[in-house]
Chain A
């Protein structure tokens, strides 16, 4: 049902998160964690988001996905298309990588104690 929203790079355009279906293995971790009960596995056992406007941007789903099938997406009304932010979650620490519209990459190591 989302076919019309599929972008050339395989991502599906929905507010809240970008979903790369081919990278989703249907483990359901994100479905378990979403505080808004917004994610579900569809008939093909791939993650899908219920509501286009109810995501809080807490990124719990993005952080728990080991397969990088989810990436955060801000509402277009307040943020340009093109930038990305990706977490790399460890047992005790978390690192992040951002890329701006021009492709400039920046890495962050916010967990001071274990950094």
Chain B
């Protein structure tokens, strides 16, 4: 007996109700109130995605004197000369309007005595964003968007011509098979954590910087549907407060904390006014930190002894709005930042389009290469240092384009063809368990995958270094792991979700390795250190590396030129 099927149809389906997805949903309903809009969300939109715990800073905002052009130049510097300038410029023009809009909805933005937003570095503003997600969820409800919480998308449903006609998913709580018919889909599922082994052992498995529940499902669905993806070789690795992996942005920008090695030397000095939280482009700051460790001058710290008691209190309150675990960590371990510098460490690598630029290859209107599918936020590529403001700007652009081009929903007959195969694929791990067979549990496959990536595709233990022989080995081992997929077991609907998370990770890992192999230069030291090609080579490699999985499952690589607009 198959699973119970649940059917819906809508003009627009938004996959992932994080900060980008919620904003897009409201935008569409504001301009097309009668359109049926569904948000499909793996968790609960009140506390899902990267901002589940809240946020204390919003980047980017163009303060007086800044322009989209000055913003683009800084992002280009951060991205080491390779960025989709059209995407950055189109978003930059909307950054301020969207922040002001969310403020009108109730976001509390800190202001100075003159009523201007309190700046956080050159490109940020400070907010009391602990309730940002509940606030966005409330707005979504007010606009009568249909929200399907606890439904995880598994694949796009495509017509014979390759255009999207719907999306399939699983009920994380009810184990039902969800089929949503729609001709327009916006993917806002976020980026991908979990490809590499966590820095923290066993019980700290998910004590990581990026949301561990963002497991690259939107990337994987795109890959399986043959979408063109870009820049998966630009991994992102953050420098964070050690153990709790929380952002150091507040420390470096608002507290004047600078980097120290274990000999008390300030190992990176520069004026901190770039989009990066660190003195140099993020990748170079990471690389400098790794050099300190390699040459025996680690561990490294942020100097915080200059802080006054009042500043320490404000610092803790700021962390409570974004990452309360930081305060618990300090309280529990007796850490007093005003007495001792705060130790930092680097995270495991992530694939993200909001800090890095990995994701769907999109046009200026945020259309992917699959007909009817749009992407924005962390899942969309080409525009690094996008952060929250950029994700919102993209959501507005995508939302407006979608409203302009609303199409009717297709007939049932066309949809049915793909449904049966997808249902079989999706429920296979549950079926295997029901038949009493033994097999592999999702966490076991996840560990195996992370071990391969860690050892051969530049994990923490090898200082993130990459080389062709090791990457080829990763490719071989991932291919072997792929043959194990049919043995996956799921005892219940929660485990079925976990099984699909690991399947998605596997598809993302395979593409990541192909990208890492293809770029035979070191463009982003630290993020992408090719020890066999240690130089940056603009002559041959100032271009985008894209990929597309073809009908046979092979990953084809595509080169796309860089266009300088400013």
Residues of A within 8 A of B (CB): 15, 32-37, 50, 52-60, 72, 74-85, 87, 92, 94, 96, 98-101, 106, 108-114
- Alpha-carbon separation in the docked complex, A87 to B325 (Å): 12
Cβ–Cβ < 8 Å partners of A83 in chain B: 328, 331-333
Q: Are A74 and B244 in contact (CB under 8 A)?
A: yes
Task: Tell me the smallest distance from the CB of A66 to a CB of chain B, in Å.
Answer: 15
Q: Are B150 and A37 in contact (CB under 8 A)?
A: yes
Q: Are B206 and A53 in contact (CB under 8 A)?
A: yes
Q: Are B204 and A60 in contact (CB under 8 A)?
A: no
- Alpha-carbon separation in the docked complex, A6 to B52 (Å): 29
Q: Are A72 and B324 in contact (CB under 8 A)?
A: yes
- Alpha-carbon separation in the docked complex, A57 to B322 (Å): 11
- Alpha-carbon separation in the docked complex, A109 to B318 (Å): 10
Partner of B53, one of A50, A58, A99: A58
Q: Are A56 and B328 in contact (CB under 8 A)?
A: no
- 20 new A-B contacts, CB < 8 A, other than A60-B52, A96-B327, A110-B321, are A35-B43, A35-B44, A35-B47, A35-B52, A35-B213, A52-B203, A53-B202, A56-B206, A60-B47, A74-B332, A77-B203, A77-B204, A79-B329, A80-B334, A100-B334, A106-B331, A108-B320, A108-B327, A110-B130, A113-B108
- Alpha-carbon separation in the docked complex, A74 to B273 (Å): 34
- Alpha-carbon separation in the docked complex, A85 to B14 (Å): 36
Interface hub of A55, A109, A110 (most chain B Cβ within 10 A):
A110
Residue of B nearest to A95 (CB): B320
Residue of B nearest to A91 (CB): B131
Cβ–Cβ < 8 Å partners of B108 in chain A: 111-114
- Given A54-B212, A57-B207, A110-B320, the answer on whether A80 and B47 have CB atoms closer than 8 Å is no
- Alpha-carbon separation in the docked complex, A85 to B324 (Å): 9
Cβ–Cβ < 8 Å partners of A57 in chain B: 53, 206-207, 244, 323-325, 328
Q: Are B128 and A111 in contact (CB under 8 A)?
A: yes
Q: Are A92 and B206 in contact (CB under 8 A)?
A: no
Task: Tell me the smallest distance from the CB of A74 to a CB of chain B, in Å.
Answer: 6
Partner of A37, one of B208, B244, B494: B494
Residue of B nearest to A106 (CB): B331
Cβ–Cβ < 8 Å partners of B318 in chain A: 110
Q: Are A79 and B128 in contact (CB under 8 A)?
A: no
Residue of B nearest to A50 (CB): B494
Is B200 close to A, CB under 8 A?
yes
Cβ–Cβ < 8 Å partners of B201 in chain A: 77
Partner of B328, one of A15, A76, A79, A113: A79
Q: Are B321 and A82 in contact (CB under 8 A)?
A: no
Cβ–Cβ < 8 Å partners of A111 in chain B: 108, 128, 130, 321
- Given A35-B211, A77-B201, the answer on whether A85 and B331 have CB atoms closer than 8 Å is yes
- Alpha-carbon separation in the docked complex, A108 to B323 (Å): 14
- Alpha-carbon separation in the docked complex, A96 to B212 (Å): 25
Cβ–Cβ < 8 Å partners of A87 in chain B: 324
Interface of A, secondary structure class, is loop
- Show 9 residue pairs from A and B whose CB-CB distance is below 8 angstroms, ordered by the A residue: A33-B47, A37-B172, A57-B53, A57-B244, A96-B320, A99-B331, A110-B128, A110-B321, A111-B321
Closest A-B pairs by Cβ, 9 of them: A83-B332, A110-B317, A78-B243, A75-B204, A57-B325, A60-B47, A53-B205, A58-B53, A75-B203
Task: Tell me the smallest distance from the CB of B113 to a CB of chain A, in Å.
Answer: 14
Q: Are A112 and B213 in contact (CB under 8 A)?
A: no
Q: Are B131 and A92 in contact (CB under 8 A)?
A: yes
Is B497 close to A, CB under 8 A?
yes
- Alpha-carbon separation in the docked complex, A84 to B213 (Å): 25
Cβ–Cβ < 8 Å partners of B317 in chain A: 108-110
Interface hub of A74, A76, A106 (most chain B Cβ within 10 A):
A74
Which residues of B from 230 to 245 have beta carbons under 8 Å from A? 243-244
Cβ–Cβ < 8 Å partners of A54 in chain B: 205-206, 212
Cβ–Cβ < 8 Å partners of B334 in chain A: 80, 100-101
Cβ–Cβ < 8 Å partners of B44 in chain A: 32-33, 35
Is B285 close to A, CB under 8 A?
no
Interface hub of B208, B213, B320 (most chain A Cβ within 10 A):
B320
Cβ–Cβ < 8 Å partners of A84 in chain B: 328, 331
Residue of B nearest to A51 (CB): B443
- Alpha-carbon separation in the docked complex, A78 to B203 (Å): 10
The 8 A CB mask of B153-177 against A (1 = contact, 0 = none) is 0000000000000000000110000
Task: Tell me the smallest distance from the CB of B327 to a CB of chain A, in Å.
Answer: 6
Residue of A nearest to B149 (CB): A32
Interface hub of A59, A78, A98 (most chain B Cβ within 10 A):
A78
- Alpha-carbon separation in the docked complex, A60 to B201 (Å): 23
Cβ–Cβ < 8 Å partners of A98 in chain B: 327-328, 331
The 8 A CB mask of B15-33 against A (1 = contact, 0 = none) is 0000000000000000000
- Given A59-B324, A111-B130, the answer on whether A78 and B43 have CB atoms closer than 8 Å is no
- Alpha-carbon separation in the docked complex, A99 to B328 (Å): 9
Q: Are B53 and A60 in contact (CB under 8 A)?
A: yes
Q: Are B244 and A78 in contact (CB under 8 A)?
A: yes
